[in-house]
Amino acid sequence: MKKLSRRSFSGIAAKGILGTTLLTNMPLAKAFTAKPINKKLGIALVGLGSYSEHQLAPSLLETEHCYLAGIVTGTKEKEGIWKEKYNLSKKNIYNYDNFDTIAKNDAIDVVYVVLPNSMHAEFCIRAAKAGKHVICEKPMAVSVKECDAIINACKENNVKLGVGYRMQSDPYTNEVKKYVKEKTFGDVLFVSSDAGYISNGNPDQWRLNKALSGGGALMNMGVYAIQTSIYGTGQNPISVSAQEFSTRPDYFKDTDETITAQFKFANGAVAHMMTSHNANGNRLKCHCSKGWFELDPAHSYGPISGRTSNGNTIEFPFKKQQALQMDDFAKHVLLGSKNIAPGEMGKRDMIIVEAIYKSIAEGGKEQTLSLGDLGIVS
């Protein structure tokens, strides 16, 4: 796959394709008072596009075990804006060329890579070599081979690796997992999951550029539907078949627009997923032998909403998923707690993504999946 250089990417970013205007100033992070942990981890965000700007940075004002300590950006103008807004030290501000010197900075414990997908592997590996723990935004990479390279680099440099699967930290997700594990509504027989939105933005945005994104709706929203299909059944699939649909080829010139896929599981359960950049979808429904349960919306930043066949609603107090996610990773680093979204999970999902693309290329032919040796289920 052809990749763009860091300089080319910086040029695209400078034209405004990767980000939007910064929000108004926000209050400083709350003081850390939790007694079991005597320090907060400093996180550096690599890439200051929309997700870092509107979700991750504000969430780091609400985290208990980590905080925004630094940034890495290819846009000079953003350095001063973020420095002032988040009271960052000048020594904690980097660009893509001097990034490797972050190894000498003890104020940075974790590097969160939030760049376009094709750049994940390079910067995750560079962060690992710099001795920093790594969070890689989803999808983990553009190929299984790159996932392996990231995992190996983190192991070789004795640093922790997590994938930015915010939903794995969301209480609604954990409630679904509980229903499945405890068979609250009996055995899960069929799972339906939709994840998509209608894209009408700049046709030159990086998500529509395969060299940067590695794919379209499947690489972006599709991983949510893959994940819900898995934790909605509590198993990894044993096979998948898939179909692709295009209704706006003039806009989606380089990437997939809409994909549907069907999974089979060893216990006889089946699942259907839909992902799209041209149709709204935000739902998970599990049909069981003794009822059903659903989340609708299921994948958005919140609040999520759920219902069950017994007339109950699924409700939890709202907290930013990204704050929960980053705190979970910080506790994994500081306390050795479970890594709820390890690199192996990102690799598993990329194995499934590649199988879906292969099925489409072969006219919807069913593809066998061998995922048991990864040690990752939901």
Residue 239: pLDDT above 60?
yes
SS3 sequence, the chain?
CCCCCHHHHHHHHHCCCCCCCCCCCCCCCCCCCCCCCCCCEEEEEECCCHHHHHHHHHHCCCCCCEEEEEEECCCHHHHHHHHHHCCCCHHHEECCCCHHHHHHCCCCCEEEECCCHHHHHHHHHHHHHCCCEEEECCCCCCCHHHHHHHHHHHHHCCCCEEECCHHHHCHHHHHHHHHHHHCECECEEEEEEEEEEECCCCCCCHHHCHHHHCCCHHHHCHHHHHHHHHHCCCCCCCEEEEEEECCCCCCCCCCCCEEEEEEECCCCCEEEEEEECEEEEEEEEEEECCEEEEECCCCCCCCCCEEECCCCEECCCCCCHHHHHHHHHHHHHHHCCCCCCEHHHHHHHHHHHHHHHHHHHCCCCCEECCCHHHCCCC
Residue 226: pLDDT above 90?
yes
CATH of the domain at 70: 3.40.50.720
Residue 4: pLDDT above 50?
no
The answer on 288 and 259 residing in a single domain is yes
Residue 53: pLDDT above 80?
yes
374 or 300, which is more confident:
300
Mean pLDDT for 2-10 is 46
The answer to whether residue 178 is catalytic is no
CA distances for 141 relative to 29, 109, 215, 218, 376, angstroms: 31, 22, 11, 13, 18
Mean pLDDT for 317-328 is 97
The answer on 172 and 137 residing in a single domain is no
Mean pLDDT for 178-192 is 98
Mean pLDDT for 235-239 is 98
Domain assignment present for 197: yes
pLDDT score for 301: 96
Pairing of strands 258-264, 270-276: antiparallel
The answer on 186 and 62 residing in a single domain is no
pLDDT score for 49: 97
**Rounded CA separation 196/30 (Å):** 35
Lowest-pLDDT choice from 26-35, 73-82, 208-217, 225-234: 26-35
37 or 5, which is more confident:
37
Residue 208: pLDDT above 80?
yes
Domain membership of residue 156 as a residue range: 6-166
Lowest-pLDDT choice from 15-19, 52-56, 68-72, 82-86: 15-19
The answer on 161 and 203 residing in a single domain is no
pLDDT score for 1: 39
pLDDT digits (tens, 9 = 90+) for 106-116: 999 999 999 99
Mean pLDDT for 261-282 is 98
pLDDT score for 37: 65
**Rounded CA separation 282/193 (Å):** 8
| pLDDT confidence tier of residue 302, bands split at 50, 70 and 90 | confident
Q: What's the chain's average pLDDT? A: 92
**Type of residue numbered 40:** K
**Rounded CA separation 252/200 (Å):** 10
pLDDT score for 38: 75
Express as a percent the part of the chain with pLDDT over 70: 90
- pTM equals 0.90
pLDDT score for 375: 84
**Catalytic-labelled residue, pool 78, 132, 138, 347:** 138
Q: Which of 274, 342, 120 is nearest to 111 (CA)?
A: 120
pLDDT digits (tens, 9 = 90+) for 64-92: 999 999 999 999 999 999 999 999 999 99
Residue 20: pLDDT above 90?
no
Count of domains forming the chain:
2
**Catalytic-labelled residue, pool 86, 112, 224, 231:** 224
Strand partners, 134: 111, 161
The answer on 293 and 179 residing in a single domain is yes
Final residue before a domain boundary, out of 136, 166, 196: 166
9 or 340, which is more confident:
340
The answer on 132 and 80 residing in a single domain is yes
Q: Which of 231, 204, 160 is nearest to 376 (CA)?
A: 231
The answer on 226 and 308 residing in a single domain is yes
Mean pLDDT for 320-342 is 98
Residue 26: pLDDT above 50?
no
Strand partners, 191: 271, 286
The answer on 365 and 305 residing in a single domain is yes
**Rounded CA separation 371/378 (Å):** 12
The answer on 179 and 70 residing in a single domain is no
Final residue before a domain boundary, out of 142, 166, 190: 166
The answer on 218 and 146 residing in a single domain is no
| pLDDT confidence tier of residue 15, bands split at 50, 70 and 90 | very low
Burial 155-183 (b: 16+ CB within 10 A, else e): eebebbbbbbbbbbbbbbbbbbbebbeee
Mean pLDDT for 252-258 is 98
Residue 33: pLDDT above 90?
no
The answer to whether residue 224 is catalytic is yes
**Rounded CA separation 123/32 (Å):** 29
Domain assignment present for 334: no
Express as a percent the part of the chain with pLDDT over 90: 87
What are the structure tokens assigned to 64, written together?
């208990």
